[in-house]
């Protein structure tokens, strides 16, 4: 890969330019950024149909049943929260959806088709992307390069095409840089596009992870505790970003310990405890659900508030 920054010099000017815009210009600019980010928007189908389904998924680690016959669906266009006390099986659920682990029994279906033995890469190509509890960025690469790497999952040219620098490869690379820049702007960190990922503030790194996952053009974006380590103001901003992602045509699955955030941003919630689904419903229903309240008893106020 050539250095994206050579093709698209990142001017500190971009942020200043946006700041100088009138409200009308700003709205138009934001719409253009959103359009560049959601390239598949026009092929999105109706909101409401099931995008991903877990059907009786059981996953065992030796003698430990991490998921016990779990079934639920994620509808296109919604923000679904996946919550539960520590060790409930949330991350294992993500891992079963993204090909890290195969269910011991049961099925995960994307758009009605089983993931079966698909590899992680194939699953990314089929449209599921995720972030991790512990940030996993390429520290020595710039923020922009980290996102361009994400877009590589969608490239159609072969390695040979890249080596020969065929026109199609060049076109794809240019588009990838432009889209990566739009993504950085979308998540609010365009001003640090040329900085190495390892030098970015923590909150920026978390946003960069989201931008990188979005770069694969996922149908389903899975966020694993994206607010971990955030202060209340940062959490508030993150809620805004998650809503913006959904409004731009993505479907979001969110694992999060912060109840205020989960209740404030999700459309529906699934609750796990000891590997079993104990509840599913609207945030207001979940809040009042006795089984959920019991599951959270004993959890420190910070997490349960």
Both structure tokens of 153: 């999952």
Total number of residues that touch ligand ATP (CB under 6 A): 11
Choice from 28, 35, 61, 174 touching ligand ATP (CB under 6 A): 61
Instruction: Lay out the site mask for ligand ATP across 82-101 (x = CB under 6 A, - = otherwise).
Output: --x-xxxxxxx---------
Instruction: Lay out the site mask for ligand ATP across 11-50 (x = CB under 6 A, - = otherwise).
Output: ----------------------------------------
Burial environment of residue 284 by CB neighbours within 10 A (0 to 12, 13 to 18, 19 or more): exposed
Edge-to-edge strand order for the sheet containing 50-61? 64-75, 50-61, 105-110, 113-114
Choice from 64, 233, 297, 305 touching ligand ATP (CB under 6 A): 64
Burial environment of residue 145 by CB neighbours within 10 A (0 to 12, 13 to 18, 19 or more): buried
Ordered alpha helix ranges (H), the chain: 4-7, 13-20, 23-37, 90-97, 120-126, 143-152, 159-163, 167-187, 202-215, 232-247, 259-265, 283-288, 290-296, 301-304
Stretch of residues binding ligand ATP (CB under 6 A), selected from 22-30, 81-89, 149-157, 240-248: 81-89
- Interface with ligand ATP, residue 175, by CB under 6 A: no
Residue 172 CB neighbours (<10 A): 19
Stretch of residues binding ligand ATP (CB under 6 A), selected from 61-69, 164-172, 193-201, 287-295: 61-69
Interface positions with ligand ATP (CB under 6 A): 61, 64, 66, 84, 86-92
């Amino acid at each position: 890969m050539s250095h994206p920054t050579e093709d698209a010099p990142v001017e500190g000017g971009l942020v200043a330019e946006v700041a100088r815009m009138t409200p009308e210009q700003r709205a138009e600019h934001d719409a253009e950024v959103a359009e560049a980010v959601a390239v598949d928007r026009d092929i999105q189908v109706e909101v409401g149909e099931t995008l991903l389904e877990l059907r009786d998924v059981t996953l065992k680690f030796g003698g430990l049943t991490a998921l016990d016959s779990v079934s639920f669906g994620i509808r296109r266009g919604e923000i679904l929260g996946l919550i539960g006390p520590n060790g409930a099986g949330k991350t294992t659920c993500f891992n079963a959806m993204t090909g890290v682990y195969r269910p011991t029994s049961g099925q995960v279906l994307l758009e009605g088709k089983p993931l079966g033995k698909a590899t992680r890469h194939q699953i990314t190509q089929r449209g599921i992307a995720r972030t991790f509890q512990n940030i996993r960025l390429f520290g020595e690469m710039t923020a922009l390069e980290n996102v361009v790497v994400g877009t590589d999952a969608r490239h159609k040219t072969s390695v040979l095409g890249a080596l020969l620098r065929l026109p199609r490869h060049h076109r794809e690379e240019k588009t990838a840089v432009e889209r990566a820049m739009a993504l950085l702007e979308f998540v609010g960190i365009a001003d640090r596009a040329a900085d190495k990922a390892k030098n970015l503030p923590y909150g920026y790194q978390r946003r960069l992870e989201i931008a990188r996952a979005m770069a694969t053009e996922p149908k389903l974006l899975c966020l694993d505790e994206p607010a971990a380590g955030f202060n209340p103001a940062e959490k508030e901003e993150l809620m805004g970003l998650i809503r913006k992602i959904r409004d731009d045509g993505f479907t979001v699955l969110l694992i999060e310990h912060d109840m205020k955030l989960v209740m404030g941003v999700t459309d529906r919630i699934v609750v796990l405890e000891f590997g079993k689904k104990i509840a599913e419903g609207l945030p207001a229903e979940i809040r009042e659900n006795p089984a959920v309240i019991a599951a959270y008893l004993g959890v420190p106020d910070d997490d349960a508030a």
